Amino acid sequence: MDLKGKIILITGASAGIGEACAEVFAEEGAMLILLARRKNKLDELSKIIKEKNKVEILNIECDVRNRKDVEKCIKELPDKFKNIDILINNAGLARGMNKIQEGSFDDWDEMLDTNIKGLLNVSRFVLPGMVERKSGHVVNIGSLAGREVYPNGNVYCSTKHAVKALSKGMIIDLNGTGVKVTNLDPGLVETEFSEVRFRGDTEKAKKIYQGYTPLTSRDIAEVALFCVTRPQHVMIQDIMVTPTDQATALILNKK
């Protein structure tokens, strides 16, 4: 499928995997709707992309946890951005790494509300249009943490297991509508993810990616691009991508 002029909504586009998706899809000539809370980051990114690729970009400041705001953003899209062809449900985060008996309720709420309910909020307002047009593709960014549970990963891992279940639920419910769904599970990717998880403790965050070669955001964006450019009769339901040095969540070939 040619992405020239296709409308792509990317949530969590202000950093990491979402930002790389914006760059990679723009290189294919797509029109982008970039959504995140940090509008200044989206503005900086769009400026660079527009200069390079001459594509149209709409930046939306929105918190995916706020259902009313999500509804307003999607329902009030300007006409030329209304018919979303591809939705990349990428906005997500981890907070902390604690034993379940010591976990923070606030951290739990933030992960559950963003990774599960946020993804549902956006999907619920975008999917009806796709079904009506009998075409579209949703890519849900899950995680290796949606296939394995590691020590102190309890709630984050549970949110990504939920993403996997939601991807399958979407595939089942959308069968026959022409709308495709892909669950994309990355292993370790060097982004702002660990800085967010450890609340700005840069040293601790850096250590997560040291001693081996992690994935880059672009590695994942390129896989997303591959998934959404298959012919209409081909749907990649589920795909996992890890660094070559990563065998499981905990088995890492660290030097």
Q: Where do contacts with ligand 8X3 occur on this chain (CB under 6 A)?
A: 143-145, 153, 188, 249
* Residue 192 site contact among ligand 8X3, ligand NDP, none (CB < 5 to 8 Å, cut-off depends on kind): ligand NDP
| Strands 179-186 and 238-241, bridge-based pairing | parallel
Residues in the chain: 255
156 is catalytic: yes
Q: Which residues touch 243 (CB under 8 Å, ≥6 apart)?
A: 187, 188, 212, 213, 214, 215
Query: In the complex, what is the shortest distance from the CB of residue 144 to ligand 8X3, in angstroms, rounded to a whole number?
Result: 6
Quick one: tokens of 160?
């990504």
Among 6, 7, 16, 242, binds ligand NDP (CB under 6 A): 16
Tally Cβ neighbours within 10 Å of residue 68. 8
Query: In the complex, what is the shortest distance from the CB of residue 143 to ligand 8X3, in angstroms, rounded to a whole number?
Result: 3
Taking CB under 6 A as the rule, does residue 92 contact ligand NDP? yes
* Residue 249 site contact among ligand 8X3, ligand NDP, none (CB < 5 to 8 Å, cut-off depends on kind): ligand 8X3
Start-to-end CA span in the chain (Å) = 41
Q: Among candidates 50, 58, 91, 90, which has minimal Cα distance to 77?
A: 58
- Region of residue 2 (left: phi > 0; alpha: psi -120 to 50; beta: else): beta
Residues 10/35, Cβ–Cβ less than 8 Å:
yes
* Residue 55 site contact among ligand 8X3, ligand NDP, none (CB < 5 to 8 Å, cut-off depends on kind): none
CA distance 165 to 183: 9
* Residue 70 site contact among ligand NDP, ligand 8X3, none (CB < 5 to 8 Å, cut-off depends on kind): none
Taking CB under 6 A as the rule, does residue 12 contact ligand NDP? yes
Query: In the complex, what is the shortest distance from the CB of residue 136 to ligand 8X3, in angstroms, rounded to a whole number?
Result: 25
Q: Is the dihedral angle over the CA atoms 192, 197, 199, 202 positive or is it negative?
A: negative
Q: Which is nearer to ligand NDP, 133 or 218 (CB)?
A: 218
Taking CB under 6 A as the rule, does residue 158 contact ligand NDP? no
Taking CB under 6 A as the rule, does residue 55 contact ligand NDP? no
Which range of residues in 59-67, 79-87, 164-172, 221-229 is near ligand NDP by CB under 6 A?
A: 59-67
Taking CB under 6 A as the rule, does residue 125 contact ligand NDP? no
Among all chains, which residue has been given the structure tokens 């034993």?
A: 99
* Residue 17 site contact among ligand NDP, ligand 8X3, none (CB < 5 to 8 Å, cut-off depends on kind): ligand NDP
Active site residues: 156
